[in-house]
Amino acid sequence: MSATAHPFATRSARGRQLERMTFTVFRVATYFVLLCGLLVFGDIFVKGAHTVFQSEFPYVNVPFLTEAPESLYVFEHNGKKMELGDRAFRAFQSSEAARARAENRPVPRFKAESYVYSAGGIWPCIVGTVLLVVGSMTIALTLGVSSAIYLNEYAKDGPGVRFIRLAVLNLAGVPSIVFGLFGFGLFVIFLDWNVSLLAGWFTLAFMVLPVIITASEEALKAVPKGFREGSLALGATKWQTIRTNVLPYALPGVLTSSILGIARVAGETAPIMFTAAYVVRDKLPWEVDRLGDFFFQGVMALPYHIYVVSSKIPQNEYTARVQYGTAFVFLFIVALIALASIVFRNRMRRIYKW
């Protein structure tokens, strides 16, 4: 080997082997992560699809998507096993009773086993989650973009601003249950909003604010200095400059980050369990007497429903269907909202291209 003393001689076999091994470890780690992801999604997808889809027309389990949760009644009838939801079961009972009376038979009594929340659908949860996401993102974007503009464009850099930035960053590390307790203490009790949409909106908004503020600041910083100077040199005020020549070009960046915020807002259970979520509610959010009541009503929400049906009721073969079905719909809805924001973001990008 000493014969190959020129500067381009190959490295020692041991060195190359070590490098190959290192990269193999990295590769295995990556595949492992991929595998975990696939398992989670695959499990939810396969099992959830059984609940959400069906083999005959219309191929989608429409009642599951459009009805409220009900108790499931399972009983034997003429040697056949019947599974009926609450309302259907009562209708069945009365029709059987009527028939029995007509035929002068004794009214039959059905010995049914009941399983709570295992029939019906999750429509109120879908509605609640969408309302929570839309409302809290509106609040979070308004507050977040405003404070980012203040911090980045107006405030003089100094200890004060640095302290605010630090505080905002630390806020991102606060566990969501603490946000829940904070919202419970401030909005539900102190401001007396009770368990309500409004309390949930603000609690969730506060939770994602750090992400929105940080990302908005980055987006504002990315807008070239020339846009600002050019505008100011033409006699525009600072606010005119920001409104017409900075903010529009920062908006796509802000939206990109808020897409991550959407997933978080939709998914968190802890902040809403004290502030906005009901285990079950028969009325839909728009069934209110006065418009003002709309903001002060609790709602059902998908993540909270998953929590309830997975850990707060007796488990059996019927609850699993609801759990996986809800999880499936939940993922689908988050994806849908995220997709909508991505489409919107891309349109903004096309308009305000630079």
Partner 1 sequence: MVTATTQRSMATSTLFAIKVPPSQDLGTNRTLIEIENLDFSYGPKQALYDINLKLEEKRVTAFIGPSGCGKTTLLRCLNRMNDLIDGTVIGRGSIRINGVDIHGRGVDSIELRKRVGMVFQKSNPFPKSIYENVIYGLRIQGENDKTRLDAIVEKSLRGAALWDEVKDRLHESGLGLSGGQQQRLCIARAIAVEPEVILMDEPCSALDPVATAKIEELIQELRSHFTIVIVTHNMQQAARCSDRTAFFYLGKLIEYADTRTIFMKPANSQTEAYVSGRFG
Which residues here bind partner 1, judged by CB under 8 A?
156-157, 224, 226-227, 229-237, 240, 244-245, 249, 352-354
DSSP 264-297: HHHH--HHHHTTTB-S--SS-TT--SSGGGGGG-
How many Å is the Cα radius of gyration of the chain? 28
Residue in the block written with tokens 């601003």: 161
Of 210 and 252, the one with the shorter C-beta distance to partner 1 is 252
Give the sheet arrangement for strand 69-77, strand by strand.
80-85, 69-77, 113-120
Token pair, residue 59, equals: 């191929």
Name the β-bridge partners of 53: 60
Report in angstroms how near the CB of residue 230 gets to partner 1 at its nearest: 4
Q: Quickly count: other Cβ atoms within 10 Å of residue 74's Cβ.
A: 18
200 vs 253 by CB, closer to partner 1 = 253
Nearer Cβ to partner 1 (109/353): 353
Residue 237 or 316: the one with the smaller Cβ distance to partner 1 is 237
Closest CB to partner 1 among residues 37, 224 = 224
Q: Which of 178, 181, 177, 161 is nearest to 169 (CA)?
A: 161
Cβ atoms of 84 and 94 within 8 Å: the answer is no
Q: Smallest distance from the beta carbon of 213 to partner 1, in angstroms? A: 21
Residue 56 C-beta: closest distance to partner 1, Å = 54
Instruction: Name every residue whose Cβ is closer than 8 Å to that of residue 50 and which is 6 or more positions away in sequence.
Output: 321, 324, 325
Closest distance between partner 1 and the C-beta of residue 228, in Å?
8
Query: Closest approach of Cβ 236 to partner 1, in Å?
Result: 5
